[in-house]
Structure 1
C-alpha cells in the first residue's frame, strides 16, 4: 500500500468526554509560539534566561548498541555523548533548550526520530497519526482516561489487569468489565460475548467504549496476543465502536518458545540455557522487526487505537519518558490537557535520550532492542529451568489452560498426584504467573471449614501463604493486586479454591533466583 492510498483516521471525537471537550488552548503557550518569530523582542514570557542555568555542559558515557550485555564485565564498547549549553552549526541539542519551558509536544528532533522509527517498525495503517511525548505509560494512561472516561463509565479490561491502570479510573466511579484471558492473552470470543449481551445484562447502562489491554508480555501473566487474536479483537472493537488503548511497554521483549531442559536437543542445550548465548555475526534489523507480532496500530485503518510506548523498559524507567501514537483529534485533546498539567516530560531526559538515539540511529536502536530481548529471554529461561529443577513439571490436563502443572519433585507415576500450581512459559515481558490449586493444602481445608465462604478462605490462605514466603525471605506479588475493580469497593469474584502469584525474572541474578525458588519450594512442601 502506497502512502497515497493509506487512509486518514476517522473522526472519533464522539468518544471524548465533557471535560476534554471543554478544554481550551493554554494562552501562555500561544505566547511562546510568537516568541519564535524572527526579530521578535519578547517582554511577555517569564522564561528564565539560559545564562542563569547552572549547567555549562553535560557529558555521558553510553554503550554502543551492539554491546554484549550478558557479559559479567563492564562493557568497554562505549560512545561519548555531549550536550553543550548553546547551539553550534553541528549541534542543535542544547541545555539552553532542554532546561527551558518548551512545547508540550516535546522535542521536535526526538519526535521526528520516533515518527520515523514508528513508521518503519509499527507500520501504522492510517497516514495522519501523531506522535506526542509523555512522562511514561502511567502518565499516558492517566491522560487517556481523562479525555475519554466519564464518571460511572465501564472500562473493558483483562481479567487480571495492571493495578495502577485501574487505580486511575476507580475513584471516578468507573467500573472494570473483566474479559477472560488464557496463555495467549485476551480471548476474543469472550470479549464479543460481553458486548453482544450488554443490553441484556446491563439494561439501561451505557456500553463500554474503551478497552485497556497489555498485548505483549502481559502484566502479570506474561502472555502475548497472536496476530490472529489481535485481528479478531480489532474487528470486534470496530463493530461495537470501542477505542483500544494499547499499553505496550514490553513490545520489544518478545521471546522464542521455551523448551524444558529434558526436551532440548543435545546440540541446543548450551545455546538455550547458557548465560551467554552465541552471538550472531551480523545483525539484521528487518529480520528482528519481522520476528515481532505486529501491533494493533498496524491493523488500525480508522485511528481507534491509542498506542502507549515507553522507554522505561528499554532505556530505564527513571527517564520518565515515552510517547503516544494516536489520531490527530485525540492528540490535540491530550495536548490541551498536557499544557495545564505536566506541560512536558523532563527536558533533560528528552535531551539525553535524543542524543543517544540520534547517535545510535534507528538500526542501532533496533540492535540494542534485540540484545535486550536476548537478555530477558535468558532470564526467562533461568527461571523456568530453576522451577523445573525444584518441581516435576507435567503436561497440563485438558481442563487446564496453562502449559504445565508443577507437582512435588520425584512424585513418581501415581495418577493421584496433587498439583501445587500450573503456569505457562512467558512469551514476553518480565513475569511468570502461577495458579495455585488449594484443594490439596490441608491448611486451606481447615480455613475453608471455619470460614463463611470460599472467597474468605481463599483470601485468608493467600495472605498467610504470602507471609510465610516473606518469612522465608522470598517475595512474590499477590495475584489479588490484579483483580479488576467492578464496583464501589467491589472486585471481580475469584475462581474458587485457587490463588495466583506473580514472579519477576527481570532483576535478580541466576544464583539469587535459585535461592529464592528453593525457598519457595520449601514453603509449598510445608503447606501440602
Structure 2
C-alpha cells in the first residue's frame, strides 16, 4: 500500500548547497528531449550515435563463434599471471586504467598521431565530459578566463561557469578557430582587461567541431600552436570526432557515395593532431570511444605529459577511481581481437557511413533551395562562406554579389552536424522586431523560428545554445558584439534515415518560405 501521499515533504535544505552547486545550470540540449515524443516529430537536433560495431557476445570461457557475432571470451582466472581476466577487471584496479588497453592505445597514438615529444603518457577516464571536468580542476582557478571557439559545445561550459570563470570567444572561419584572432585577443589582453590575469588555457574542438563541423588543417594548427607557445597557453584538444573526417563536398542533385579506403589509406588521410606539433608537452588530448564504439561505454583517455597525468591521477584516485572494469575489459578485448589494422578498417567504414549521411542532408538542401557557391554568388555578403541557399526558382544569373541568401553553410569536414547561418535581416518579421525596439531582435526572431519549426514537426538545435558564457553583462547580441541580423541552427545528420532527413529539410523549407515571404 502506497502511503507516500500522507507523508510530509522534505524540508527546504537549499541553504546547505555549496556556491558551485547553486550556480550549476541544466544542459540546454536536454530541454529538446521533451519534444521528441511528439507524434510525427522529425528530430534533426540530437547527436545520437546510431552506428555501432557488430553484435558482441561476451562469454566466460571458450565458445564457438557465430557468423553474426564478434565473440569475446574473458576467463574468470587467466591462465597466465597478468593477462586479462574477470578476477582482475571486476576488482578495484589501477586508476590509470587497464594496462593492456593502455598499451594498445599507446601504440595507436604513436602510430596515428605521432606526438612530437617523447615522454607523453596515456591515462584512461570516463569519457570526454568527465575528462574535461578533471582538466578544469587541474588547470583553472575560480574567476579565471578560458579561451574557446566563438561557438562551442554547451556542456563544456558546465564545469567552469559555476566557478565564476568566463569564456573568451575566439573568432572562427570555415577552417575553424582563427590564429590571428587568438593572437589579437592575447596580445591586447592587458589593455582590454587591465588587472585581470591573461587566459592560459585554450579549449578547442579542432576536428569536426561541434557545432560548426569545421576542421583545422595542419597549417592552421601550427599557427594556433605557435601563438600558444608565444603566450604560454595550454591547449586542450577535445577530439571525439577525430575518426569522422570527411572528403571535400560537392553540390550534387543526388548524394554521392564515399570512395572506400582501407585502414592504412584512412590513417594517411587524417589531418594531424595538435600532438604532431607539440614539442613542449602543452597539449592535453581528450579521446573518447563514445563516437567510435558506443557512448554507453563511458570510456576515454588522456594523452598528456607526465606532470599533467600524475596530477590527474591523484584526483582520479579520490574522485572517480578506476574507469568501469566492464567497459575497459570489453573495449580492450575487442581492440585486441581486431588489432590496430582491424580497428582502422572499422573507423574507415564508420567515417564512410557518416560521410554519406552528410551528403544526403546537403543534397536534400540543394533540392529545396537553389544552392550555389558562396564565393561566386555571395562574394559581397560579409562572412558568407561555402554554399549559399536562395529561394527555389531563383535565377542564378539575376543574383547580385551583395544579395542576401536565405541561409548559407560550410559543408562539414567531419562529425555529425551541419551549422546553418540564417540571414534574418532579410525576413520581414525581423525588421518589425527592430522597428518595435526589441532588446535582442536576433534572439527573439530565432526563438520564434524554432517554435514555428517545432510546430511544423521538425526539431533543430538553436544556435544560441553554443554561444560561450562571457559574463552576465554579455548576453544579448549587441552586448556580445556579435554579428547583427544573423542566426544559426545546428542540424544533426547522425540519426535518422534518408527519408526522414529529406522530409525534415522539406519541413524546414516550408517555414523559411513563410518567414522570408518568398
| TM interval, short-chain normalised | 0.7 to 0.9
Matched, 1:148 2:134: no
Q: 2:4: which partner in 1?
A: none
Matched residues in 1 for 2:498 and 2:385: separation?
24
In the TM superposition, residue 91 of structure 1 has moved relative to its aligned partner by 9.1
Relative to structure 1, the CA distance from residue 451 to residue 130 in structure 2 (aligned partners, 3 Å threshold; closer, same or farther) is: same
Question: Post-superposition shift, 1:125?
Answer: 0.6
Q: TM-score, normalised by structure 2?
A: 0.83
Aligned to 2:238: 247
Structure 2 residue 212 is the aligned partner of structure 1 residue 221: yes
Residue matched to 1:14? none
- Give yes or no for the alignment of 1:521 onto 2:509: yes
Q: Which residue of 2 aligns with 1:295?
A: 273
Return the alpha-carbon distance in structure 2 between the equivalents of residues 464 and 471 of structure 1.
11
Q: 1:237 corresponds to which residue?
A: 228
Q: Check conservation: 2:59, 2:73, Cα contact below 8 A.
A: no
**Residues 1:414 and 2:414 are matched in the alignment:** no
**Which whole-Å CA distance do the structure 2 matches of 1:375 and 1:61 have between them?**
30
Q: In the alignment, which of 92, 106, 121 is matched to residue 97 of structure 2?
A: 106
1:41 alignment counterpart: none
Structure 2 gaps of 5+ residues are: 1-57
Do structure 1's residue 439 and structure 2's residue 422 form an aligned pair? Answer: no
In structure 2, C-alpha distance between the alignment counterparts of 1:244 and 1:62, rounded to whole Å? 45
Alpha carbons 1:183, 1:401 under 8 Å: kept: no
Q: Check conservation: 1:56, 1:85, Cα contact below 8 A.
A: no
RMSD: 2.1
Q: What is the Cα deviation at residue 259 of structure 1?
A: 0.9
Matched, 1:120 2:95: no
Task: Give the direction of change, closer, same or farther, for the CA distance of 1:183–1:100 in structure 2 (3 Å limit).
Answer: same
Pairing partner for 1:449 from 417, 435, 460: 435
Q: Residues of 1 paired with 2:153 and 2:212: CA distance?
A: 10
Contact 1:62/1:356 (CA < 8 Å) preserved in 2?
Answer: no
Match of 1:85 among 50, 73, 76: 76
- Maintained 8 Å contact 1:216/1:254: yes
Correspondences of 1:66-215 after superposition (within 5 Å): 78-89=69-80, 92-215=83-206
Q: CA deviation at 1:226?
A: 1.0
Report if aligned partners of 1:133, 1:345 keep a CA contact under 8 Å in 2: yes
**How far 1:118 moved relative to its partner?**
0.5
How far does the alpha carbon of each residue in 1:27-67 deviate from its partner, in whole angstroms, 9 at most, with x for none?
xxxxxxxxxxxxxxxxxxxxxxxxxxxx993899999xxxx
Contact kept in structure 1, 2:59 and 2:72, CA below 8 Å: no
Distance in 1, Cα, partners of 2:471 & 2:406: 32
Tell me the secondary structure at the aligned position of residue 229 of structure 2: helix
Q: Do structure 1's residue 311 and structure 2's residue 289 form an aligned pair?
A: yes
Query: What is the correspondence of 1:353-368 to structure 2 with a 5 Å cutoff?
Result: 353-368=331-346
Partners in 2 of 1:245 and 1:279 — Cα distance?
Answer: 32
CA distance in 2: counterparts of 1:346 and 1:59, whole angstroms: 23
TM superposition shift of 1:489? 6.6
Deviates more, 1:480-489 or 1:137-146: 480-489
Q: Is the 8 A contact 1:188 1:233 kept in 2?
A: yes
SS for the counterpart of 1:309 is strand
Query: Is 492-501 or 475-484 further displaced after alignment?
Result: 492-501
Aligned residues: 447
Q: Alignment partner of 2:372: what SS? A: strand
Q: 1:135 to 1:499 in 2, by over 3 A?
A: same
1:189/1:340 CA distance change after superposition, 3 Å: same
SS of alignment partner, residue 406 of structure 1: strand
5+ residue gaps, structure 1, are 1-54, 64-75, 263-268
Residue 90 (structure 1) shift? 9.6
Over 3 Å counting, the alpha-carbon distance change for 1:250 and 1:419 in structure 2 is same
Give yes or no for contact 1:61–1:78 (8 Å, CA) kept in 2. no
- Structure 1 residues 279, 287: CA separation in 2 closer, same or farther (over 3 Å shift)? closer
Residue 178 of structure 1 and its aligned partner are, at CA, apart by 0.6
What do residues 335-367 of structure 1 show as CA deviations (whole Å, max 9, x unaligned)? 011111111211100000001000000111111
Contact 1:156–1:179 (8 Å) recurs in 2:
yes
Q: Is the 8 A contact 2:289 2:300 kept in 1?
A: yes
Q: Is the 8 A contact 2:419 2:491 kept in 1?
A: yes
User: What is the rounded CA distance, in whole Å, between the counterparts of 1:444 and 1:490 in structure 2?
Assistant: 21
Structure 1 stretches of 4+ moved >4 Å: 58-63, 277-280
In structure 1, what is the Cα distance between the partners aligned to 2:372 and 2:76? 61
Query: Could you tell me whether the CA contact under 8 Å between 1:60 and 1:81 is conserved in 2?
Result: no
